[in-house]
């Protein structure tokens, strides 16, 4: 099948590469000329395990191409995927300007019957808007072409995106026409070989399914973070509670790790957008609002612990920060907990020396220039260099390389042997044996004297 993916960001690039890998002929389009020029040379805009190989091999085979010219890609294209961003607007709703712009361009360029797929996360009713915009563009051209708009939300996880796309738990397709449903079923057949993973429904149901899924996962995280805060005040170790409840098959272990709050390009904005949708329909979003509120509070917890221990004025203090990406396995820093923490520490007068195994280039691009220019935020070359003369180490992203560090060496490099563990990665007793004072999330502080 001939596919065009419009928007070659995280989702668009993974989608295009994986369809090409499964035998479709794919053209990825983007308005970002530099991104497309780099991709043509095999240089990827994101870090995602396994993606580079798939992109390079399929480019070499000629099954995957990149262009800025939709008019070229659109010729005889059977399926258009819209995979542009849907950032939050001022009122929290998903900003659909990019989706609408792409819909208009499709209407201007399509040459035959096509299925137009909303891959971006979009609110209920967006497919109708896309159809209107496409029809307007066709009317302006004065031509009569049939098309269907389908919702096919994406559930990939950054850091495991290829695996998620090639071996999905489920494929949600919302289609209101049999013709479109049949084309989508054929397109996804190679991904559904062992068991039927396709769940067909109508368009609005599919649009809502994506928001409900993300809101559910965000709810689990915020719920557990709240439990962690209660535990801490009761002398309870939330890690035991986590294991205790995770073993219940109705609850499960995933997404119940207490931490420094959720970030990324999806959960914060999707929860926000669903709150807005809920309000618009007259339903009080009591649960969703609490989920968002707890997360905003949770992103401040590490800074509060540091101030409680070292004082509210942190002038002259230096901190080593391990982890900048919003989670391990990606260089994505959108809405990362690390940004809120750095902001709080710098505002209190501190110096922060940060290290991340893959997000350093992204950090240099995305973090406010003023922070870097002031030399109060320093980007270190490796995790141990970040520790030199610091008053504490703060773990924010649980990369594997941070899990079993050389505690002896850490103790030699740090000014004070204090660990603030924002992801409960370390055993308090073990680090205390190396002379560290330990502060985790949802558990009491532990000192060498407590051994
Ligand atoms: N990142 C994820 O993990 C993830 C997972 C599931 C769903 N989603 C959803 O997928 C959508 C895309 O997210 P993303 O993270 O890939 O975004 P992104 O910001 O990484 O990529 C968007 C791309 O669209 C391009 N673009 C914008 N306007 C364009 C236009 N008119 N024509 C062509 N290209 C255009 C941008 O240049 C950019 O490269 C969002 O709705 C998001 O919520 C994201």
Question: Strands (DSSP E) along 180-327, which ranges?
Answer: 198-201, 318-322
- Given this model, what pLDDT does residue 427 score? 97
- Does ligand 1 lie within 6 Å of residue 120's CB atom? yes
Which among 28, 81, 83, 207 is the best mutation to test ligand 1's pocket, defined by most ligand atoms within 8 Å of the CB?
83
- Given this model, what pLDDT does residue 425 score? 98
- Given this model, what pLDDT does residue 161 score? 97
Closest ligand 1 atom to Cα of 266: 43
Which among 9, 28, 89, 108 is the best mutation to test ligand 1's pocket, defined by most ligand atoms within 8 Å of the CB?
9
Domains for the chain: give ranges and CATH numbers: 2-201 (3.40.50.720), 211-297 (1.10.1040.10), 299-450 (3.40.50.720)
- Given this model, what pLDDT does residue 193 score? 77
Closest ligand 1 atom to Cα of 105: 31
CA dist 179 → 2, 70, 148, 200, 355 (Å): 16, 24, 8, 13, 51
- Given this model, what pLDDT does residue 194 score? 72
Contact 85, 48 (CB under 8 A): no
Contact 377, 368 (CB under 8 A): no
Contact 313, 348 (CB under 8 A): yes
SS3 304: helix
Report the binding-site residues for NAD(+): 30, 35, 86, 121, 158, 269, 334
Which residue shows structure tokens 């796309």? 165
Structure tokens at 301: 């917890």
Specify the residue with its C-alpha closest to ligand 1, atom 33.
Answer: 30
Other beta carbons within 10 Å of 232: 21
- Does ligand 1 lie within 6 Å of residue 168's CB atom? no
Exposure of 284 by Cβ count < 10 A (0-12 exposed, 13-18 middle, 19+ buried)?
exposed
Structure tokens at 311: 């004082």
Q: Please give the distance, rounded to the nearest whole angstrom, from the Cα atom of residue 200 to the centre of ligand 1.
A: 24
Catalytic residues: 266
Q: Please give the distance, rounded to the nearest whole angstrom, from the Cα atom of residue 84 to the centre of ligand 1.
A: 4
Instruction: List, for residues 363-415, the tens digit of each pLDDT value.
Output: 999 999 999 999 999 999 999 999 999 999 999 999 999 999 999 999 999 99
Measured between its terminal Cα atoms, the distance across the chain in Å is: 65
Other beta carbons within 10 Å of 313: 11
Dist. CA 329–CA 160, nearest whole Å: 7
- Given this model, what pLDDT does residue 95 score? 97
Low-confidence ranges of the chain (pLDDT < 70): none
Tally DSSP H helices, then E strands, for the chain. 18, 14
- Does ligand 1 lie within 6 Å of residue 8's CB atom? yes
Closest ligand 1 atom to Cα of 29: 33
Q: Could you give the count of Cα atoms lying within 13 Å of 14 in the half-sphere of its Cβ?
A: 25
Closest ligand 1 atom to Cα of 265: 1
Structure tokens at 292: 């968002």
Sign of the torsion angle spanned by Cα atoms 342, 343, 344, 349: positive
Instruction: List, for residues 131-157, the tens digit of each pLDDT value.
Output: 999 999 999 999 999 999 999 999 999
SS3 355: strand
């Amino acid at each position: 099948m001939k596919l065009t993916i419009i928007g070659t960001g995280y989702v668009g690039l993974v989608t295009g590469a994986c369809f090409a890998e499964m035998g479709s002929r794919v053209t990825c389009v983007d308005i970002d000329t530099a991104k497309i020029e780099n991709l043509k040379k095999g240089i990827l805009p994101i870090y995602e395990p396994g993606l580079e190989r798939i992109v390079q091999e399929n480019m070499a085979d000629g099954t995957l191409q990149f262009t800025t010219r939709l008019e070229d890609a659109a010729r005889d294209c059977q399926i258009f995927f819209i995979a542009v961003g849907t950032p939050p607007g001022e009122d929290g709703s998903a900003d659909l300007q990019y989706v609408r712009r792409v819909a208009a361009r499709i209407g201007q360029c399509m040459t035959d019957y096509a299925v137009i797929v909303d891959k971006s996360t979009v609110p209920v009713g967006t497919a109708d808007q896309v159809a209107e915009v496409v029809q307007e563009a066709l009317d302006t051209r004065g031509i009569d072409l049939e098309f269907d708009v389908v919702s096919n939300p994406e559930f990939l996880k950054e850091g495991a995106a290829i695996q998620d796309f090639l071996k999905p738990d489920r494929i949600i397709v919302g289609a209101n026409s049999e013709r479109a449903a049949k084309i989508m079923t054929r397109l996804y057949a190679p991904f559904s070989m062992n068991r039927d993973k396709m769940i067909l429904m109508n368009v609005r149901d599919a649009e809502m399914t994506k928001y409900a899924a993300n809101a559910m996962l965000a709810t689990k995280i915020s719920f557990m973070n709240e439990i962690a805060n209660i535990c801490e005040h009761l002398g309870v170790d939330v890690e035991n509670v986590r294991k205790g409840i995770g073993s219940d098959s109705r609850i499960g272990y995933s997404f119940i790790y207490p931490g420094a709050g959720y970030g990324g390009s999806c959960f914060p904005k999707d929860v926000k957008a669903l709150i807005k949708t809920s309000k618009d329909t007259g339903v009080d979003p009591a649960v969703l609002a609490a989920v968002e509120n707890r997360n905003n509070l949770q992103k401040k917890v590490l800074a509060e612990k540091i101030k409680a221990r070292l004082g509210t004025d942190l002038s002259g203090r230096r901190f080593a920060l391990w982890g900048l990406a919003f989670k391990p396995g990606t260089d994505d820093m959108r809405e990362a907990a690390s940004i809120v923490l750095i902001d709080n520490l710098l505002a209190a007068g501190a110096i922060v020396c940060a290290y991340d195994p893959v997000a350093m280039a992204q950090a240099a691009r995305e973090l406010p220039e003023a922070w870097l220019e002031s030399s109060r935020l320093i980007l270190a070359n490796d995790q141990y260099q970040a520790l030199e003369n610091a008053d504490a180490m703060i773990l924010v992203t649980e990369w594997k390389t941070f899990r079993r560090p050389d505690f002896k060496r850490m103790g030699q490099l740090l000014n004070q042997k204090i660990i603030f563990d924002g992801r409960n990665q370390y055993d308090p007793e073990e680090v205390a044996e190396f002379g560290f004072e330990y502060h985790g999330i949802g558990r009491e502080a532990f000192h060498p004297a407590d051994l």
